[in-house]
Amino acid sequence: MKKYGKFAALIVVVLGTLVYLAVAGGNSNATYYKTIAELGRMGDQAYGKRLRVGGDVESGSIERAGSQVHFVLVQDKTRLKVAYTGSDPLPDTFRDGAQALADGRLDKDGVFQAGKIQAKCASKYEAKPGQMPGQAPSSINTGKRSI
């Protein structure tokens, strides 16, 4: 039976190491998907977590100040101020009215600091049977990804 003990011990060591590695980072590798309304309800819990928030870019809200871009995301009439501080240029599809996903953290002033923005055209269009499709874009831009 002794040899099986050795096998068991080795297996436990290997698996234990892996489980440790999987959970050791805690929450630092996790990104939470939230709606703007949910973000509002989270209260203090929202600070410091990595979040991904989606919504429409409010028309006329995009302001560029130096390297920062400020804009407002709207979803079901709830608004969220976003400051984009990332180094990648914003995707070409990012414009008034576009659907955007912001990746980042909420700071104490209630401004969402985004390090990454993905955007897709609002007029996402799919042809339905029996309809003539118009001149509408049908693909989305997923923007850049980074490792």
Partner 1 sequence: MENLGSLALLLAFCVAIYAALASVAGRIKRKPFLVVSGRRGVYAVWALITVASGVLVHALMAGDFRFAYVWEHSNRSMPMLYKFAAWWGGQEGSLLLWSWLLATYSMVAAFTNRRRRRDFMPYVTGVLMTVQVFFLLLNNFVANAFKVFALDGRITALPDGNGLSPLLQYPAMAIHPPMLYLGYVGFSVPFAFAVGSLITRQPGDGWIHTTRRWTLVAWLFQSAGIMLGMAWAYHVLGWGGYWGWDPVENASLLPWISGTAFLHSVMMQEKKGMMKVWNIVLVSATFFLCILGTFLTRSGVVQSVHAFARSEIGKYFVGFLALGIAATVYLILERLDYLKSESQLESVVSRESSFLFNNLILLASCFAVLWGTLFPVISAAVSGDQISLDADWYNRLMVPIGLFLLFLTGVGPLFSWRRTSVDSLRRNFQWPGIAAVVLVGALIAAGVRHFYALISFGFCLFVALTVLVEFYKGSRSIAARNGMNLARAAVELTHRNTRRYGGYLVHVGIVLMFIGFTGQAFKLSEVKELDNGDSLKIGRYDLRMVKLEHGEEENYLWDRATLDVFKNGSELGLLRPEKRLYKASRQSTSEVGIRQRLDEDLYLNFGGMSDDNQRAVIQAFVNPLVSWVWVGGLVLIGGTLICLVPSKIRMQYARTQVLRVTSSYATVQK
Which residues in this chain contact partner 1 in the complex, by CB under 8 A? 3-4, 6-7, 10-11, 14-15, 17-18, 21-22, 24-25, 28-34, 52, 64, 69, 87-93, 121, 126-127, 129-130, 132-133, 137-142, 144-147
∠ Cα 36 83 76 (to 5°): 25
Q: How far is the CB of 76 from partner 1 (least distance, A)?
A: 18
How far is residue 69's CA from residue 63's CA, in Å, rounded to a whole number? Answer: 6
Residue closer to partner 1 by CB (options 109, 123) is 123
Rg value, the chain, Cα: 22
Q: Cβ 100 to partner 1, closest distance in Å?
A: 14
Asked whether 75 and 54 are in contact (CB, 8 A), the reply is yes
Q: How far is the CB of 126 from partner 1 (least distance, A)?
A: 7
Minimum CB separation of residue 64 from partner 1 in Å reads 5
Cα–Cα distance, 23 to 25 (Å, whole number):
6
